[in-house]
């Protein structure tokens, strides 16, 4: 029996996982899955240049490395929250608040 491997995933020199022959990081597909509950078909609608095989490969890679991805996502979210607190409310959000479109 011959094993066939079609990963569609490449790691750059920083260890970041990318979908091969694209400028899409695996984490971008993962965040659509986690944040919106998107199916592979829905993700394909958002990223029509990705094949379903590439999307499934990205999700499989995530599930194989779930702890590392989840830790990185949590660190990124914490860093973004800290920056938001430090910088305060943006002028756009201030305007929306004045217009009564934000609580």
Q: Residue 4 has what pLDDT?
A: 54
Low-confidence ranges of the chain (pLDDT < 70): 2-6
User: Residue 26, SS3?
Assistant: helix
Q: Residue 84 has what pLDDT?
A: 84
User: Residue 19, SS3?
Assistant: strand
Q: Residue 88 has what pLDDT?
A: 84
How many other C-beta atoms can be found within 10 angstroms of the C-beta atom of residue 91?
7
Instruction: Spell out the domain ranges in the chain.
Output: 9-16+28-98
Q: Residue 17 has what pLDDT?
A: 94
User: Residue 12, SS3?
Assistant: coil
Beta bridge partners of 17: 11
pTM (predicted TM-score): 0.79
């Amino acid at each position: 029996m011959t094993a066939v491997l079609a990963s569609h995933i490449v790691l750059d020199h920083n260890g970041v996982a990318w979908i091969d022959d694209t400028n899409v990081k695996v984490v971008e597909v993962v965040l659509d899955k986690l944040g919106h509950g998107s199916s592979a078909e829905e993700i394909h609608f958002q990223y029509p240049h990705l094949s379903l095989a590439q999307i499934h490969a990205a999700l499989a890679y995530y599930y194989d490395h779930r702890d590392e991805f989840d830790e990185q996502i949590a660190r990124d979210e914490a860093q973004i929250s800290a920056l938001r607190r430090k910088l305060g409310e943006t002028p756009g959000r201030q305007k929306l608040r004045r217009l009564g479109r934000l609580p």
